[in-house]
């Protein structure tokens, strides 16, 4: 299983992209930096996109991807929960901002919305995908993705603390999880349901208690202006847990 980090941050600039992972060139997790990171040729290799929630930084490239597929008469599957589809249809693909590519062309919609239920594992492109409910300000699902040869990752999307039920449901080799702000933002991060290094440490303690191990951890969704501070604080967390914690960056590639 090959994972490419296309977008590793919570804000966009020339150097940073909104959050997106790409698995084996065919499966995208979120779409914050999808079209801006891939050539047209590579976009056409995509077979499916899993969306965690409808915040702009996670879904923004869905309309752009739809246009590119439309111009090449190709369809693509988009998996998520109903509230994400409702918001995409209402605010983006509404015939005003952009065409209704989930309905058009008639009988051959470019975006095929596929509904997932939390906690219910499904087969997608040969992977076993388990959606789990995260704790965010909008309804959000994280995904464990397991390849046919039993390599597995978990991608959190955006999440705050309180993940005990999630940890009971997953056993990934690699954990891609968000840490948006530094420890000094803890109150605001709790309020907006994001993580800091200290909050992550508390959640990892619980993970280890339940699962008796810690996976290798890749940090995503960092605020670029706080990255040095976050990295320094995460180094402390890694040392105290004796865990492998790496801060992801655009273009990073991981193989398991």
Residue ranges binding Zn ion (CB under 5 A): 55, 57, 158
In the complex, least distance from residue 100 CB atom to Zn ion, rounded to whole angstroms: 24
Give 158 or 233: the residue with its C-beta nearer to Zn ion. Answer: 158
Closest alpha carbon to 69 in 48, 43, 92, 95: 43
Give 52 or 152: the residue with its C-beta nearer to Zn ion. Answer: 52
d(CA 134, CA 163): 7
201 phi-psi bin (left φ>0, alpha ψ -120 to 50, beta other): alpha
3-state secondary structure of 105: coil
Give 33 or 172: the residue with its C-beta nearer to Zn ion. Answer: 33
Sign of CA pseudo-dihedral 135, 139, 141, 142: negative
In the complex, least distance from residue 57 CB atom to Zn ion, rounded to whole angstroms: 4
Task: Provide the β-strand partners of residue 177.
Answer: 219
What one-character DSSP code corresponds to residue 171? Answer: -
In the complex, least distance from residue 116 CB atom to Zn ion, rounded to whole angstroms: 18
Give 55 or 60: the residue with its C-beta nearer to Zn ion. Answer: 55
In the complex, least distance from residue 217 CB atom to Zn ion, rounded to whole angstroms: 18
Q: Are 66 and 110 in contact (CB under 8 A)?
A: yes
């Amino acid at each position: 299983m090959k994972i490419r980090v296309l977008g590793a941050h919570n804000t966009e600039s020339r150097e940073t992209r909104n959050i997106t992972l790409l698995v084996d060139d065919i499966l995208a997790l979120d779409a914050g930096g999808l079209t801006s990171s891939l050539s047209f040729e590579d976009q056409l290799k995509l077979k499916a996109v899993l969306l965690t929630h409808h915040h702009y930084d996670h879904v923004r490239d869905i309309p752009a991807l739809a246009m590119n597929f439309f111009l090449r008469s190709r369809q693509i599957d988009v998996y998520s929960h109903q509230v994400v589809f409702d918001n995409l249809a209402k605010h983006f693909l509404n015939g005003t901002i952009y065409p209704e590519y989930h309905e058009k062309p008639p009988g051959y919609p470019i975006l095929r919305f596929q509904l997932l239920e939390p906690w219910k594992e499904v087969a997608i492109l040969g992977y076993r995908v388990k959606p789990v409910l995260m704790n965010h300000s909008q309804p959000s699902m994280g995904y464990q993705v397991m390849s046919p040869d039993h390599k597995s990752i978990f991608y959190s999307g955006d999440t705050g603390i309180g993940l005990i039920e999630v940890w009971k449901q997953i056993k990934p080799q690699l954990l891609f999880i968000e840490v948006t702000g530094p420890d000094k933002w803890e109150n605001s991060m709790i309020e907006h349901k994001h993580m800091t290094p200290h909050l992550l440490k508390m959640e990892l303690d619980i993970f280890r208690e339940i699962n008796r191990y810690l996976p290798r951890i890749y940090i995503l969704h960092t605020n670029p202006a706080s990255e040095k501070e976050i990295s320094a604080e995460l180094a402390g967390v890694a040392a105290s847990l004796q865990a492998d914690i790496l801060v992801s960056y655009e273009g990073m590639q991981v193989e398991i």
